[in-house]
Amino acid sequence: MQTHQLTCHPATPPLAVRSVEARVLSITDNWFRVRWRVDGVGKLVIPSFAGKGRQDELWKTTCFELFLQPRGGTAYCEFNLSPSERWAAYDFTGYREGMSEREFRREPDCTMRVGQAIAIFDAALPRAQVPDGKCAVGLAAVIEEEGGHLSYWALEHSGDRPDFHDASCFTAKVGAPTPA
């Protein structure tokens, strides 16, 4: 699957992070796997391990986000995934409308590995918890660096402020699962 270079919103330049890229690694009958790669981690703030569990407001620190919008509709799902292993999932009926918690029977698996120059964040979401069929995809990241400095990375940005919910951010595409 294709690797996507994320763009930092011009209103929120990073301190040391040079780039963020993301890709859907695989979609099988069991798992939807996604990877983010952060280059320039010298000042990166990584949330402390908190163990698996649902938690709101993960976007206040380093967090990786996935949006899935089934083709032909306005409804979409948002998944927030933290290096702390906390996660959140929401359904929307339209642009920032009709928000509700997305039910999860099995929690996502999240792992972050940090080296001297790069960090890799892998997430595996149970396939039964994500929409079926072809979807428009938004891949995004909130990156916190020392001093509480936040930068916002997405496939596209269209406004004066970062807005991962904007349909212009849903520019990647995914299809049906491939055999495991």
pLDDT tens per residue, range 41-52 = 999 999 999 999
Total tally of structural domains belonging to the chain: 1
Q: Average pLDDT in the 60-77 region? A: 95
Residue 179 inside a domain? The answer is no
Residue 83 inside a domain? The answer is yes
Please check the confidence at residue 162 and state whether its pLDDT lies above 90. Answer: yes
Pair 6, 20: CB distance under 8 Å: yes
pLDDT confidence bin for 173, thresholds 50/70/90: confident
92-123 pLDDT tens trace: 999 999 999 998 889 999 999 999 999 999 99
Chain-wide mean pLDDT for the chain?
94
Pair 39, 118: CB distance under 8 Å: yes
Please check the confidence at residue 160 and state whether its pLDDT lies above 90. Answer: yes
Residue 180 inside a domain? The answer is no
Please check the confidence at residue 177 and state whether its pLDDT lies above 60. Answer: no
Which range is least confidently modeled, 2-16, 47-61, 158-172?
158-172
Q: What pLDDT score was predicted for residue 43?
A: 97
Q: Average pLDDT in the 18-36 region? A: 95
Domain of residue 83, residue span: 3-174
Q: What pLDDT score was predicted for residue 178?
A: 57
Q: What pLDDT score was predicted for residue 146?
A: 98
| CATH for 169 | 2.60.40.1190
Report d(CA 117, CA 15) in Å as an integer. Answer: 14
Give residues with Cβ within 8 angstroms of 154, minimum separation 6: 6, 7, 9, 138, 139, 140, 141, 162, 164, 169
Q: What pLDDT score was predicted for residue 121?
A: 98
Q: Average pLDDT in the 65-86 region? A: 95
